[in-house]
Amino acid sequence: MEKFTNAHIHVFTGDCAPDSFLKVIPISLVRKFPRRLKWLIQTRGVRSLIVWFASWGSRRDAQLRNTVEKYISFLEIGTTATQLEIFIKGFKVAKSYSASPRIVALPLDMDYMDEDQEIVMNYNTQLKDVKRIKKYYPDNFFPFLCVDPRKHQGENMLRWARKFFTRGIRSKESEKVHPFFSGIKIYPALGFFPFDPALDELYAFAEEHGLPVMSHCTRVGSQYVGKNIRSLIPQQPAMIGVPGHPDYEQARQEIIDRIARYDEKGWLKYTTAKNNDYACDLFGHPQNYVPVLLKYPRLKICLAHMGGYSEILKLKKGPDEVQEVDQKNWFGLIKEMMQQYPNFYTDISYTLSGLQAHKKLSRADARFIRSEINAFLDTPVQSTGEADEPIGKRVLFGTDFYMTEQEAREPELYQMAREHLPQWFKRMAGENCERYLGF
């Protein structure tokens, strides 16, 4: 039986997010009244109206429209289905490619997304439900454990997390033993740095036990929407790493300088209008992983989405103000890091939707994205000692279901990958994922 894995889907529901979740949409009215809007969106008719108005109102700003529709889509599925039902939707599509596909589901701990808001289904409850799905689909459902250093730190975090990886069940069908959780998910944009020393013990445990780490890596997406952003970003944040190592020192200095530049721009100040849009980029920046990769060279870290296809388009259209202040293109930086660190991965989820023109993406742009991704996959490794191997061997197949519903339906994403990346599709979903997950 051919091994097939979708390494990136989400099953969490709207109940797992705070009521102020909609603040991530860059529209001032939405940011002022996120709870009322969420209440409205939960009505089917109102949802359709909002999609129509959003498309009309943001017709000249594809990125804005994209963001609005993405979150409407999220709420559409997220408010009408359970985690199990969402998983089954994604699983059914993957079944067309393999009799027993593996689906990596990435829960999200949104308990600290906004300190002022309560969450209906807090993270502990979300995890209990996720474990239930694992019990029903032990050979197909492979959840990662999302961690947040504001909830648990150091040894406490390890004590809390360990049981999720060291307890499990035996599948009645395959008779294989599976731990409940197969990896670690981090989502720094929710308000912490991946080099936070509170994560040190967990990284060490993950390296020792071959647990892969998956992290979100695009400039847009869910983010911390609370008012205490300034206190989360000190001028010189504490950092794990290898002091004295030239790469570590360089990365550290560049990270500190970047924080200072963002501060000068006034991007670290909370306002209802800006709502941490730029500040949260500092958390998920690819360079933040350099200290971790240096300290834990055997730890498999995957920065999802290749940095996002909007970063790829900046190579064509030129850098915008954010990139000028940042001084890095995330897509380019991920490529450089993959050449340098042998256990550094990325996945093609979400960015897949840029392989083909759609209502928000011109044909010329899609063609450019396709050529850039193909070139990325074929880029030879330079300094990791993997002779004659392109970095595509460390690119995973994923779809980011169900966040991509407005760009393309799940079966279309599979089809796009197969059509536009014919040499890589099976490899990404097969041996690359196997190696990453340690199967």
Partner 1 sequence: MNILNLPILEILISMVFIFALLSVLVYSLVEWYNHKTKARGKMLKDSIYQMLDDPLNANYGALLYLHPLVRGTVNYKNNRPPQYLDSTLFAEALIDIISRQWEDEGEEVGIVVNTDGSKEFDLKPDPAKPELHKLTDRELFQEGMARMSDSPFKELLESFCRKSKGRPELILLIRQWFDSQQDRVSGWYKTKQIPKNWVFAVLVTLFLNVDSFYLYQVVAENKGIRDGLVSMAMQADSTVLQKEAQEQIQWSLDHLGQTNLPLGWNKDIAPLSWWSKDQPTKPESKALQYHYRRNFKPQWYDYALYVFGLFFSMLMLSFGAPFWFDTLNKLINIRKAGKKPQAVHTPTPKTTNS
Nearer to partner 1, 114 or 365 (CB): 114
**Is 46 a residue that touches partner 1 (CB under 8 A)?**
no
Name the strands in the sheet holding 5-9, side by side, starting at the edge strand that comes first in the sequence: 5-9, 102-105, 141-146, 183-186, 213-215, 301-303, 344-347, 395-396
- Give residue for tokens 């909830």: 151
**Is 174 a residue that touches partner 1 (CB under 8 A)?**
no
Rounded distance, CA 165 to CA 142, Å? Answer: 11
Largest CA distance in the chain: 60
Q: Tell me the closest approach of the beta carbon of residue 206 to partner 1, in angstroms.
A: 11
Site for partner 1 in 204-263 (CB under 8 A): 208-210
Q: What is the 8-class DSSP label of residue 432?
A: I
**Is 40 a residue that touches partner 1 (CB under 8 A)?**
no
Radius of gyration of the chain (CA): 20
**Is 171 a residue that touches partner 1 (CB under 8 A)?**
no
**Is 98 a residue that touches partner 1 (CB under 8 A)?**
no
**Is 176 a residue that touches partner 1 (CB under 8 A)?**
yes
**Is 427 a residue that touches partner 1 (CB under 8 A)?**
no
**Is 92 a residue that touches partner 1 (CB under 8 A)?**
no
**Is 323 a residue that touches partner 1 (CB under 8 A)?**
no
**Is 129 a residue that touches partner 1 (CB under 8 A)?**
yes
**Is 317 a residue that touches partner 1 (CB under 8 A)?**
no
**Is 122 a residue that touches partner 1 (CB under 8 A)?**
yes
Backbone angles phi, psi at 396, to 5 degrees: -100, 155
Q: Which two tokens stand for residue 58?
A: 């943001």
Q: Tell me the closest approach of the beta carbon of residue 164 to partner 1, in angstroms.
A: 10
**Is 159 a residue that touches partner 1 (CB under 8 A)?**
no
Peptide bond into 414 cis (omega under 30): no
Judge contact between 349 and 417, C-beta under 8 A.
no
**Is 156 a residue that touches partner 1 (CB under 8 A)?**
no
Helix (H/G/I), strand (E/B), else coil: 332? helix
Stretch that binds partner 1, among 92-100, 159-167, 316-324, 383-391 (CB under 8 A): 159-167
Please report which residue ranges of 209-349 form alpha helices under DSSP H: 229-232, 246-264, 279-284, 290-295, 309-317, 321-326, 330-340
**Is 87 a residue that touches partner 1 (CB under 8 A)?**
no
Q: Which two tokens stand for residue 5?
A: 């894995």
**Is 167 a residue that touches partner 1 (CB under 8 A)?**
yes
Q: Tell me the closest approach of the beta carbon of residue 124 to partner 1, in angstroms.
A: 5
**Residues touching partner 1: how many (CB under 8 A)?**
35
Angstrom distances, CA of residue 77 to CA of 224, 259, 293, 387, 404: 22, 36, 36, 45, 11
Binding string, residues 276-315; x marks residues near partner 1 by CB under 8 A: ------------------------x---------------
**Is 341 a residue that touches partner 1 (CB under 8 A)?**
no
**Is 121 a residue that touches partner 1 (CB under 8 A)?**
yes
Judge contact between 323 and 310, C-beta under 8 A.
no
Binding residues (CB under 8 A) for partner 1: these are 15, 43-44, 79-80, 82, 84, 120-122, 124-125, 128-129, 131-132, 135, 165-170, 176-180, 208-210, 300, 435, 438-439
